[in-house]
Amino acid sequence: MSAKDIFHEVVKQALQKEQWVITNEPLKFKYGNVNFQIDLSAERLVAAEKEGEKIAVEIKSFLNPSAITDFYAALGQFLSYRLALLCK
């Protein structure tokens, strides 16, 4: 299990305050031979549609000396997760 980002609990509490229900912490899934692990997933009921909204949240702090390196790492994760979730 990977370490939680320093802002993990703050983000989780903010989502809960906005009526999101944390459903997985972390969200784990497999696509092909690759195992993915996103920090958390949440959902909430949309009253007008009576359907739930779902989100997957990867939390990043960008604390390394090179913010651009952190940005590219986060972008790579985002693109990989997005593709895997769309194909799931």
- The domains located in the chain, with CATH, are 8-87 (3.40.1350.10)
pLDDT at 1 over 70: no
Q: Output the pLDDT for position 47.
A: 64
The 10s digit of each residue's pLDDT in 41-66 is 999 876 665 677 889 999 999 999 99
pTM for this prediction? 0.78
Task: Indicate the residue type of 82.
Answer: R
pLDDT interval class at 88 (50, 70, 90): confident
**What is the helix (H) or strand (E) element at residue 24, kind and residue range?**
strand 21-24
Q: Is 51 helix (H, G, I), strand (E, B) or coil?
A: strand
pLDDT interval class at 4 (50, 70, 90): confident
Higher pLDDT residue, 75 or 53?
A: 75
